[in-house]
Amino acid sequence: MRLRPLGDSGIMVSPLGLGTVKFGRNEQVKYPEPFELPSDAEVSDLLSLAADLGINLLDTAPAYGSSQARLGQLLPGPRDRWVVVSKVGESFENGESRFDFSFDTTVQVVEHSLRTLNMDYLDLVLIHSDGDDLRILEHEGAPDALRELKERGLIRAHGMSSKTPEGGLRTVEQLDVVMATCNPDYLDDLAVLEAAAARNRGVLIKKGLQSGHVNGPQGVAAAMDFVFSQPGVSSMIVGTINPNHLQANVKMFDSVVK
C-alpha cells in the first residue's frame, strides 16, 4: 500500500491500519458475534500477513486487554517498520473500564506501555476519551503530559480519540492527530475531518466498518468509498482477527479507492 502522510507529524502511514482490540479483549465489546482470542500463532501470522500486504499501522491501547503484551512479544521485523499507536486515559480490568486523565498517570501509562510493548518510543499516543472530550482537553493534565513526552522523545506525536464533534474540533486545534468515527451511518464527525484537512492534522478513522455491522463485501466497499471520499483521511483503522478479511480489505481498498 502506498504510504500517506499523517498530517504534518512527519509520520507516514498505510491507508488501512490494523486495529488490535480483538487480539486481547473479548469482554464488553460491541462486535456482532462473540469470539475467542486468537492464539499466538494466529496473531503472528496475522501480523506477518499485514506486513506482506503493506500495512504499517497498528492501533492498540492499555484498555485492549492483552493486546499490547502480545504485540510486544509477537511483532515481527524491525521496530521502525511499524507505526505503533497507543492510548492513555482508559484502563480495563476485571470487566470494568476506569478513566484517569491526570498528568502523572498519563506519563506512567506511556512508560508502562513502552515496557509492555518492548519498545523505546511510540509513534503516536491518543487520549482515549470517556466521552467528555472538552473537559479532558481543557481541564485535565493529559494533553500537557503528552506534549512533554513528545519533547522527551518517548512519543513522536499526540492526539485524541474523540467521542464528540466539539472534542474532535478542539483536538484539531491543540494536538497533532484526531481519531474520529466515520461511516455511512455516522456523519457527526464530518466537520472534524474538514477542519483537520484545513490545518493539515493527521486523521485516523475508527469504526469505519461500523464495528463489523456491515453488510458483506458490498457494505465494505460502500464504507471504504465513503470514508476515503472525505477530506484529510490519512488511514482507516480496521479491526480484524480474520486473515481472509484482512486480505479482502486490502484488495477492496485497491479496487474501490486507489
Ligand X SMILES: NC(=O)c1ccc[n+]([C@@H]2O[C@H](COP(=O)([O-])OP(=O)(O)OC[C@H]3O[C@@H](n4cnc5c(N)ncnc54)[C@H](OP(=O)(O)O)[C@@H]3O)[C@@H](O)[C@H]2O)c1
CA Rg value for the chain = 17
How far apart, in whole angstroms, are the C-alpha atoms of residue 189 and residue 127? 17
* Residue with Cβ nearer ligand X (150 or 207): 207
Asked if 150 touches ligand X (CB under 6 A), the answer is: no
Tell me the β-bridge partners of 86.
Answer: 125
Asked if 70 touches ligand X (CB under 6 A), the answer is: no
According to CB under 6 A, which one of 57, 203, 240, 253 is a site residue for ligand X?
240
Tell me the β-bridge partners of 87.
Answer: 126
According to CB under 6 A, which one of 7, 24, 89, 208 is a site residue for ligand X?
208
Please tell me whether residue 80 adopts helix, strand or coil conformation: helix
Minimum Å gap between C-beta 53 and ligand X is 13
Site map for ligand X, 17-56, x if CB under 6 A?
--xxxx--------x-------------------------
DSSP assignments along 28-61, one per residue: S---SS--PPPPHHHHHHHHHHHHHTT--EEE--
Cell representation of residue 58: 497498528
Asked if 239 touches ligand X (CB under 6 A), the answer is: yes
Site map for ligand X, 105-144, x if CB under 6 A?
-----------------------x----------------
Taking the C-alpha atoms of 202, 123, 130 and 175 in order, what is their torsion angle to the nearest 10 degrees?
-40
**Interacting residues with ligand X (CB under 6 A):** 19-22, 31, 59, 128, 161, 179, 206-212, 214, 220, 237-242, 245, 248-249
